[in-house]
Amino acid sequence: MPRVVVFDEFGGPDVLRVVDEPLVEPAADEVRVRIEAFAVNPLDQLMRSGNSPAPVPLPHARLGVEGTGVVDALGSQVTGLEIGTPVILAAVPDAHIRGSYAEYTTLPASRVVARPAGLGITEAAAVWVAFSTAYGALVEKAGMRPGDHVLISAATSGVGRAAIQIANQIGAVPIALTRHAARTDDLLDAGAAAVVATDQVDVADTVRRYTGGAGADIVLDVVMGPGQQDLLKAARPGGTLVAAGFLDPRPTPFPAGALTVFGYRSFEHTLDPVVVKRMAAFLNAGVRLGALRPAVGDVFSLDDIVKAHLHLEQGLHAGRKIVVTV
């Protein structure tokens, strides 16, 4: 029988276990995907530990909002897909039921997109969550345009690196924010036009120097918490801040001032087939041009899922995506 990762209680990585489950047939509007690889995301860690923004019913909960594989079976009403088609999972909002930490999963046909031909399996497993979050926040929500100066917090993260690449593809100017000056060269190599290291310089003063005194047109905050105040000071009057993350669990003071502030969660767009079509087209173009490429770190096997989660918790991934092959 196919294997799947489940957990019956909240806790550390050791609550995860691999079990056998019967193969599930897809419903009329669904496809079954044979998973080839999936990525480990911070949301998975929050769900496993009991700190998820949404409740996770126990026992026998699953994990995984990201992955890639091939279509293995089609529901009776599905058109436009064929068995054997390589796909990426575009949205798994009910990951506790049909998460990608498995050899097979079923989901609505509208929630898969064709895998870009230029991506290998490990890259395809790691591209969608970071890319769709950054694209949705910057392009769909903030309306990023060529020439915009975009300040990106947690720039070494998967979303941060994707945001740098997307800004460059649009023709905007990505300014990367990091806590450690030692990461400057890495971020410049990743495509940042400039790097602001908070352990050495004042954020607002440095951003204004890079922007000719104006400040950032768009701020992407994937951290939240009290540090958001420094980002607000670095934005130009009339600029836009998109709060798209939750890495800092501390309270975030309500933003005040002459800024447009959006809250953002990727399901806002990844459940919209019209926006997903735009995302897929942008991703395919970026891969074809060599402009979009996820940063993949260590790769684990399904049997080593506990080690993969330990790797994430201990920060050993250095912002690169952890991938598990199935």
Distance CA 302, CA 132 (A): 25
Distance CA 289, CA 318 (A): 26
To the question of domain 3-115+295-325 being in CATH 1.20.1250.40, the answer is: no
Residue in the structure block whose two tokens are 């979050």: 133
Mean pLDDT of 199-212: 93
Mean pLDDT of 145-156: 96
Residue 164, token pair as written in the block: 């740098």
pLDDT for residue 202? 92
Partnered with residue 261 across adjacent β-strands are 241
Residue type at 299?
V
245 or 276, higher pLDDT: 276
253 or 48, higher pLDDT: 48
pLDDT for residue 255? 67
Residue 276, token pair as written in the block: 């997903």
Task: Give Cβ neighbours of residue 101 (< 8 Å, ≥ 6 apart).
Answer: 4, 5, 38, 44, 62, 63, 64, 302, 305, 324
pLDDT tens digits, one per residue of 295-318 = 999 999 999 999 999 999 998 787
Residue 272 has pLDDT above 90, yes or no: yes
CA distances from 203 to 124, 209, 217, 297, 300 (A): 34, 10, 15, 29, 37
pLDDT for residue 315? 83
Going by pLDDT thresholds of 50, 70 and 90, the confidence category of residue 259 is confident
Instruction: Give the Cα-Cα-Cα angle 267, 112, 98 (nearest 5 degrees).
Output: 70
For residues 170 and 176, the answer to whether their CB atoms sit within 8 Å is no
Residue 325, token pair as written in the block: 């092959």
Mean pLDDT of 66-91: 97
Mean pLDDT of 174-190: 94
pLDDT for residue 227? 78
User: Average pLDDT, whole number, for the chain?
Assistant: 94
- Segment among 170-174, 237-241, 259-263, 276-280 with least mean pLDDT: 259-263
pLDDT for residue 100? 98
Residue 249 has pLDDT above 80, yes or no: no
CATH superfamily of 130-267: NAD(P)-binding Rossmann-like Domain (3.40.50.720)
pLDDT tens digits, one per residue of 31-55 = 999 999 999 998 999 999 999 888 9
Residue in the structure block whose two tokens are 């420094």: 230
Q: What are phi and psi of 30, to 5 degrees?
A: -110, 165
pLDDT for residue 256? 64
Please tell me what DSSP assigns to residue 102.
Answer: B
pLDDT for residue 77? 97
Residue 8, token pair as written in the block: 């019956």
Residue 152 has pLDDT above 70, yes or no: yes
For the chain, what are the domain ranges?
Answer: 3-115+295-325, 130-267
Is the preceding omega at residue 59 within 30 degrees of 0, hence cis? yes
Residue 156, token pair as written in the block: 């070494």
Kindly give the residue spans of alpha helices, DSSP state H, lying in the chain: 42-49, 95-98, 121-135, 158-170, 184-189, 203-210, 228-234, 267-270, 273-289, 305-313
Task: Give Cβ neighbours of residue 120 (< 8 Å, ≥ 6 apart).
Answer: none
Distance CA 324, CA 144 (A): 33
- pTM for this model (two decimals): 0.93
pLDDT for residue 131? 95
Percentage above 90 pLDDT, the chain = 83
The answer to whether domain 3-115+295-325 and domain 130-267 are alike in fold is no
Distance CA 322, CA 38 (A): 9
Residue 262 has pLDDT above 90, yes or no: no
Mean pLDDT of 76-93: 96
Residue 278, token pair as written in the block: 């735009």
pLDDT tens digits, one per residue of 3-32 = 999 999 999 999 999 999 999 999 999 999
